[in-house]
Structure 1
Amino acid sequence: MRQAVLSEIKAYFDSDHWGELEDRVENHSDSTLHAHVFVDTRLHPETFCDVLRTYYAARGMEIRRTIDFQPSNVGHNMLHGVYPQGTFHYDVAWRYADGPAIAPMPEALVKERDNLQIWGVREIEDFFARYDFVTDAEAAAGPLDDFFASPTWARTAELVEDRTVAHFHTNVEMNIHPDLLMSAALRRIERRGWKLQKTLHCIFSPRQGWTTGKVVFMLDEPEVMFDIAWSFNPDVSIRPSTFHFMLEDDPAFDVRRKETLEYYTSQGAFLRLDAGELGALHDMLRPGA
């Protein structure tokens, strides 16, 4: 039993960095939509997932959805779609580093210079208020119908059903309100027979110095999460993006493929916890323990 490692993990979960996120999960989940938490760690990514499940199990909560491994090109990878049932989902951005089992990532290494990013209903409302969106559903109906009959949506559907894809964004320019885009997409999702778990608006930074929006679709069947990322263009109803968002291959799509486990574990001497250690950690993480 590596008690020192378990104590390091508990110390992180007792920290202010984690505590701010957990306060949102436990007390403000109705008004919180999404979060990114950035950490340094020595935990093997599979063990990190086990630790998160153990943490929430100790609090009488459950993570039923698979936590995806998402590769990144900005110096860290992601545990993508951590979803304590009944709350909001968040992503853990991590990089291997010697030191404690888990610790906050230095803010200088995060392109937004913020190692805990939380978006709620108020932040979305304030962000949308910056733009003069078209809010007339009748005026938006034709352009939205054309978009969802286009090769861009057909390609989106192919990527949803492609088991080699870890996560992707379909990128658009538009002046249509994101609520109308979301509603139109939900009708197409239903027609395809996909089962929706939840959908939400979010804000993100495709590149340093640029913040924009996306509509997130978390499907239950198939168990896939994809986003339609948008950039406001006052002169365009909706069209595939003509400029790159995150990656440099296709401006209309940012696609991250699944990688082998070795891709994530070649950076250092990762720690794995066995069942006995996870059981002991569960007891340590119970409220009041």
Structure 2
Amino acid sequence: MASCEASRAPVLFVSHGAPTVALDPGAFGADLASFAARLPRPRAILAVSAHWTTGSEIRITGAARNKLVYDFSGFPPEMYELRWPAPGAPDVAARAVSHLEAAGFRARLDPSRGLDHGVWVPLRIAWPQADVPVVQASLPQVPPAALVQVGAALAPLREEGVLLLFTGGVVHNLMQLRWDAPEGPAAEPWAAAFDAWVAARLDPLDVAGLARWREDAPHAALAAPTSEHLDPLLVAIGAAQHGDVPTTIHAGFTFGTLSMRSIAFLPPGGPAATTEARKEQAS
């Protein structure tokens, strides 16, 4: 049983930050790249981003070759010249549709959709060789409990070597950003309080508590005036399984209020989980 658990692919929630992280990844990029280098190479990656939302239906990219979606404007010209030619994984996409339908969700393949920046920016940092097949699933606009169920429906893919990546942001309010200070100042107290509330519920994997973030978390309306950047975290915790080891990849803020908190749920006994446990014991 332990060997089966150790071979289970991880679940990652990554706060992807501003698109310009692709040009200046900073400490976040260094931590993400270092963490990915310690993971066994996944057979494929299924990603969900805050930047592709659909109603109650879930769509999944089905093309054999991915294209990038430059879904931002007003950034330096070099942003639109970046490439990351990872292949698609039509077989994984079809399996994901099957799992979601079996769980009662409406799901279908979308052969024309590309990877948005919420997916390709962090993946370009973590797997720069672009040699791991990737599919992207849309984020349905459903209640928190249903988002958790989406993650649970996708969880069996982990046993097939498919890493599940969910990207968004724990604190995301564009109206409160300090655009003049990408590396500071220190986080605003309200942003730090909300981020800390979420973090305190990740280690024990308090699914019920996290699902009530809007009702119970401090400064929830200010930290997440719309939910689409926090929703991927709920899908991620739904995909986490009993015994998974919550591991912080990176914690910190940019632009004063933008949380870059990123976390992995790792199978017990796996290489990355063992490495992190040794680091924590030594600290």
TM-score, normalization by structure 2: 0.27
Q: Which has the higher contact order (CA 8 A, sep 6+)?
A: 2
Between Structure 1 and Structure 2, the one with more helix by share is: 2
TM-score, normalization by structure 1: 0.27
